Amino acid sequence: MSDRATVQKLVEDFLAEHPVHSTPDLDLRAARFDAGLAFVAFDKGFGGLGLDSSLHPLVEQLFLDAGCEDWMARNVIGLGMAAQTVHTHGTDEQRAKYLKPLFTGEEIWCQLFSEPGAGSDLAALATRAVPDGERYLVNGQKIWTSLAHVARRGLLVARTDPALPKHRGLTYFVLDMTAPGVEVRPLRQLTGQAEFNEVYLTDAVVPVEDQLGAVGAGWRVAMTTLMNERVAIGRRGSRRGDGAIGAAVREFTDAAAAGRADAGSRDRLLRLWTKAEAARLTNVRAAAQTGTKVPGPEGSIAKLANAELNKAILELCVDLRGEQGMLIDGYAETRPDRSSGAGGSADIRKAWLRSLANSIEGGTSEVMRNILGERVLGLPGEPRVDRDLAWKDIPRS
């Protein structure tokens, strides 16, 4: 029996024993993890079966078809980035500690990378982690941290040696977001929603056992996170007709019935549907590399395509509303309890406003184009005059 047939049989047997509509979601996900059907490419005992990562999209699709909830939006950093990073770089003790509650949703994760003074240059970050016996003391500020206000764990990159060049003086940690010295403040967006946060770290304690990877290897570990992040962001609408393009079809149908749709809007819709389907299929290929492999540049293609397409699709939706597209019910501040607003909003106008951030979050579209230019097309890289300078000697504003 092929691995594909084996996986299909395992999922069928699992669902027969754990009916989706009568098994509590937490119990279902815990049992799925124990059965090795959480991330099939992961090692046995850690949510996987040690199979090829190309089988992961098949497993996800089988569970979705059976009526299981798509949990990605509710724990996008945990499922899309933290799991792969912990499995790739963590010890067996760290895998056992973090992976199961991450998959069940008992622990939400956030990503503590961006800083006010570093912009798109992650390696320029200034947050310091200073050894203090069997722990580190961390001081600094992180920004644009989705779901930090509900997260139990945070993926943290901090500088442990300012005398080394910026890429080599970094170390990666898992931060307990409930620890003393961790302060989370909301950042209100155009929609009124405050899913983003700024996080202040003041002598925050990180035990040595929560260091992920070797001292000074933070950049390499972070690349695993970032490459998986781009696939996770790009995967929204992973089934044909899902996501923003599905909303656009519904908006066009309503507009046509009301006499607001014309040949031009129909042409826009068809062109965008074709592009959305091409992007979806590209991301299916990229998602097949999540697991034991670090995704390649396909993740950047998917992320770039999703960001630009999502904005164009939702702009069409607003245009199809006519004058109603310019109205909104208010901007009262709200804070999501467990889901990122990255997938949009039930209000199509707020979804369009939210989509304007798609070309910034998870790496700007300009950064994605640089990655594709250098790593796919083989174009010369941008000048990097500070590559070999000690971080402490690099001028900063």
Q: How far apart are CA 18 and CA 304, in angstroms?
A: 38
Helix (H, G, I), strand (E, B) or coil at 172: strand
Q: Which of 60, 115, 195, 229 is catalytic?
A: 229
> What does the radius of gyration of the chain's CA atoms come to, in whole angstroms?
22
- Catalytic residue status for 333: no
Which residues are within 8 A (CB) of 180 and not within 5 positions of it... i.e. 6 or more apart? 203, 204, 205
E strands, 273-376, in order: none
Largest CA distance in the chain: 71
Confidence of residue 238 (pLDDT cuts 50, 70, 90): low
Q: How far apart are CA 227 and CA 64, in angstroms?
A: 24
Asked if pLDDT for residue 71 goes beyond 50, the answer is yes
Task: Lowest mean pLDDT of 252-256, 306-310, 359-363, name the range.
Answer: 359-363
Highest mean pLDDT range out of 187-201, 252-266, 357-371? 252-266
Q: What's the pLDDT at 187?
A: 92
Pick the CATH number of 222-375 from 1.10.10.10, 3.30.420.40, 1.20.140.10, 3.50.30.60: 1.20.140.10
Distance of CA 364 to the CA centre of its chain: 14
- pLDDT tens digits for range 136-147: 999 999 999 999
DSSP annotation string for 107-172: S-EEEE---TTTTT-GGG---EEEE-SSEEEEEEEE-S-TTTTT-SEEEEEEES-TTSBTTTSEEE
Q: What's the pLDDT at 376?
A: 82
Which two tokens mark 219? 């950049």
Delimit the CATH 1.20.140.10 region(s) of the chain. 222-375
- What is the value of pTM for the model shown? 0.86
Q: What's the pLDDT at 267?
A: 97
Q: What's the pLDDT at 165?
A: 95
Helix (H, G, I), strand (E, B) or coil at 242: coil
Residue 73 CB-half CA count within 13 A: 16
* Residue 75 φ then ψ, to 5°: -150, 55
- pLDDT tens digits for range 191-235: 888 888 999 999 999 999 999 999 999 999 999 998 877 666 655
- pLDDT tens digits for range 334-350: 887 766 555 556 789 98
